[in-house]
Homo-oligomer: A and B are copies of this chain.
Amino acid sequence: MEVAYYKDKFLTGVEESVVPIQERGHQFGDGIYEVVRVYDKKPFMIEEHLDRFEHSAEAILLKLPYTREQLKEIISQGIERSEEDHVDVYFQVTRGIAPRLHFFPDVPAVFSMIVKPSRQIDPVKKQNGVSVTLLDDERWSNCYIKSLNLLPNVLAKQIAVNKGSEEAILVKNGYVTEGSSSNIFVIKNNTLYTTPATKGILHGITRKAVFKLAEKHNISIKEENFTPDFLKSADEAFITSTTAEILPIHTVDETALPTHFTITHQLQESFRSLTK
């Protein structure tokens, strides 16, 4: 069952109209969010998600309306009310409801949440991989903040989808940054490469999990900028996100990559064991 929450209470349904027009989310995208996956009723890496949520809030000078314990309690109630084992929990906080002026209003921030059955990625894609499309990274300088300003991501994703691919891989100043809603990894000579966690990319929680798994498997990791050509010459490549977990790449634009996915499949399997 889908569950929704706005401001200070659970709603009768996700379709309920609860947000006034003059909400900072609706008029400025002035807020932050997280998506947490729940496996067997347990929120996966919840502390890491809440750490990042707090960092995002701090970065945009937003005072969260709840403490961490309160957030965990609301999320936990949401999961319980869904009566499902596997759900995705989406939550956001905006800078509240006030007449539209750019500077910060003196009003409380507003929390929204939606809990729904986990979106399952096609198992064939998990096994055989997906194609990705290279596009210019036109986003702002602070993509480490998980903000509601997602128009460039939305546009990139749609262009990729129009080309029949799963994800847009963004390129800035000649280097690959990340996907429109994922981080990216390249495997070359048994080494795992990924873009450094600067202000220019999201510091993915699944990205972090992959670091742990790589260590476990004695795969060395290099956080280094790499070019689209390096990606196209990969032994293996994959994207990561909370909802897609670890998803191999079989094609970059017109270039086919090897599809044995030896290490990628190993990491996928280890990842599954983390979620048990």
* Residues in chain A within 8 A of chain B (CB atoms): 4, 6, 14-30, 33, 60-61, 90, 92, 94-95, 99-104, 112, 114, 116, 119, 136, 138-142, 147-155, 157-158, 161, 180-181
The interface residues of chain B lying within 8 Å CB-to-CB of A148 are: 26-29, 151
Bound Cα distance A58, B140 (Å): 21
* Contact between B60 and A151, CB atoms less than 8 A apart: yes
* Contact between B18 and A20, CB atoms less than 8 A apart: yes
Closest beta carbon of chain B to A137's beta carbon, Å: 9
* Contact between B14 and A20, CB atoms less than 8 A apart: yes
With a 10 A CB-CB cut-off, give which of A25, A92, A138, A154 has the most chain B CB atoms. Answer: A154
Which of these, B29, B101, B136, contacts A151 with CB under 8 Å? B29
- If A100-B90, A138-B142 touch, whether A155 touches B21 (CB-CB below 8 Å) is no
Closest beta carbon of chain B to A136's beta carbon, Å: 8
Bound Cα distance A61, B152 (Å): 12
A-B contact pairs, 19 of them (CB 8 A): A17-B19, A17-B20, A18-B21, A19-B20, A19-B21, A21-B112, A21-B114, A25-B29, A27-B90, A29-B148, A29-B149, A61-B155, A95-B154, A102-B157, A102-B158, A136-B141, A138-B141, A138-B142, A140-B152
The interface residues of chain B lying within 8 Å CB-to-CB of A151 are: 28-30, 60, 147-149
The interface residues of chain B lying within 8 Å CB-to-CB of A26 are: 19, 23, 25-26, 92, 94, 112, 148
* Contact between B23 and A4, CB atoms less than 8 A apart: no
* Contact between A19 and B18, CB atoms less than 8 A apart: yes
Bound Cα distance A100, B6 (Å): 16
The interface residues of chain B lying within 8 Å CB-to-CB of A24 are: 154
* Contact between A20 and B15, CB atoms less than 8 A apart: yes
The interface residues of chain B lying within 8 Å CB-to-CB of A17 are: 17-20
The interface residues of chain B lying within 8 Å CB-to-CB of A149 are: 29, 149-152
With a 10 A CB-CB cut-off, give which of A139, A155, A161 has the most chain B CB atoms. Answer: A155
The interface residues of chain B lying within 8 Å CB-to-CB of A28 are: 29, 148, 150-151, 153-154
